[in-house]
A = this chain, B = another copy of it.
Amino acid sequence: MAGITILDVARAAGVSTSTVSNLLNGRTGRMLPETRERVESTIRDLGYRPNRAARQLRTGKPQVIGLVVPSVGNPYWGALARYLEAAALTEGYHVLLCNSERDPARERQYVDELVSDGIRGIVLCSSLPSLEHVSGLIEDGLRLVAFDRTAQADDPVGLVNVSVDNTIGAELMGEHLVSLGHRRIAFVSGAIRSVNRTERFAGFLRALERAGIARPDVVTWPGSSSADGTFGDVEAAELGRVAATELLTGPNPPSAIFAVNDMTAIGVCRAVRDAGMEVGREVSVAGFDDIVLAELYSPRLTTVRQPMKEMAAAAFRALHAPADGQPTSQATSLLFRPELVVRDSTAAPVA
């Protein structure tokens, strides 16, 4: 149960607490190698671990980063949380988990709370298009990474965005569908308002235009917003189901449907089956994200993979990087390369 302090170590090693502190903080040049080794072995023998609270009180910088996600119940965010925690662990950092439930007020409150708890690094997965409300905090020294979002014109200076290249990812999927022989392809999404949806749609259009294909059917959905206590995943799936039903029963149905994310794609698959057709034969369905479910679903979902592990690691590095660069650097985007993952839900059109 610990209780063993830096003073105990200092006494046992026959040095002052300052020397132990110096060693702990990398100022090893200030002592004889022999002293250093003696202190190090004392630390090991005693099983000493510095008290984080005391350290934070003194330095103002806790060894903790904040993660604000809509809901870790969603496997996409769950995966981020998992990898981010793993990355943080390598540097001795811990992750404080916050679920905003897609409530902007709650999201803001969490950020404020984390900041006033002294936390200096936050990964924010915001549902808000603008992040202006945090610019003050960033100016005051907060390191803020916006995840799953690319840079915008009005971004606060100092913000770092980490995201997959949505445009290219969607373009890859567009090309894939075209190359399979599909000519009539629909895009299903909630309201195309958020940054990444816009980009995915744009990339998709680009691929089709290059192939000389007419502007596709586009079905979007207002998306009954926000925190009603459900996962929001179910909502996304329901959106896909409703939209696809409409498309398939309408005139001139598409032979392929590209959903804005995997959850929506799963809803689309349901609708296809409900309409008496088989996914991957009569109708091709594609998603985006490559969440765990994509591989487990039946049929296995063709999708665009986000390199989550690398993205999470990069997000942590951006928070943790020493602040020795110019404090007000350019707002940056870290874009990651998406990867097309072809599975069983897409195939050449039958007719």
User: Using a CB–CB distance below 8 Å, which chain A residues touch chain B?
Assistant: 1-2, 49, 51-54, 56-57, 62, 64, 67, 71-75, 77-79, 81-83, 85-86, 94-99, 113, 115-118, 137, 140-141, 231, 233-234, 237, 263, 266-267, 269-270, 273, 292-293, 295-298
Contact of A1 among B62, B115, B269 (CB under 8 A): B115
Q: How many copies does the complex hold?
A: 2
Q: Is the CB of A96 within 8 A of B98?
A: no
**Residue contact A118 to B51, C-beta cutoff 8 Å:** yes
Residue of B nearest to A86 (CB): B99
Contacts of A270 in B (CB 8 A): 296, 298
User: In the complex the two chains form, is B85's CB within 8 Å of A97's CB?
Assistant: yes
Q: 25 A-B Cβ contacts within 8 A? A: A1-B137, A1-B140, A2-B115, A2-B118, A51-B117, A52-B117, A53-B53, A53-B57, A72-B72, A73-B79, A73-B82, A74-B78, A77-B78, A81-B97, A85-B97, A94-B96, A94-B98, A96-B96, A96-B97, A97-B97, A234-B296, A237-B296, A266-B296, A267-B296, A297-B298
Contacts A72-B72, A266-B296 known; 7 new A-B pairs at CB < 8 A: A1-B141, A51-B57, A53-B57, A53-B118, A85-B97, A94-B117, A298-B298
A273 to B234, CA, bound (A): 24
Q: A118-B52, A292-B234 are in contact. Are A78 and B72 (CB under 8 A)?
A: yes
- Which of chain B's residues have a CB closer than 8 A to the CB of A79? 73
Chain B contacts for A273, CB-based, 8 A: 298
User: Are the C-beta atoms of A82 and B57 separated by less than 8 Å?
Assistant: no
Contacts of A298 in B (CB 8 A): 266, 269-270, 273, 297-298
Interface centre among A53, A64, A273, A293 (most CB of B within 10 A): A53
Q: Binding site of A, secondary structure by majority: helix, strand, loop or mixed?
A: helix
Complex: A113 Cα to B234 Cα, angstroms: 37
Q: Which residues of B contact A75 (CB under 8 A)?
A: 73, 75, 78, 292
Contacts of A117 in B (CB 8 A): 51-53, 94
Distance of A173 from chain B, by nearest CB (Å): 21
Instruction: Give A228 Cβ to nearest chain B Cβ, in Å.
Output: 14
Alpha-carbon distance between A273 and B298 when the two chains are bound, in angstroms: 9
Chain B residue at minimal CB-CB distance from A236: B296
> Cβ of A81 and Cβ of B72 under 8 Å apart?
yes
Which residues of chain B are within 8 angstroms of A115 by Cβ–Cβ distance? 1-2
The minimal Cβ–Cβ distance linking A292 to chain B, given in whole angstroms, is 6
Whether A292 contacts B231 in the complex (CB less than 8 A), given A57-B53, A78-B73, A82-B71, comes out as yes
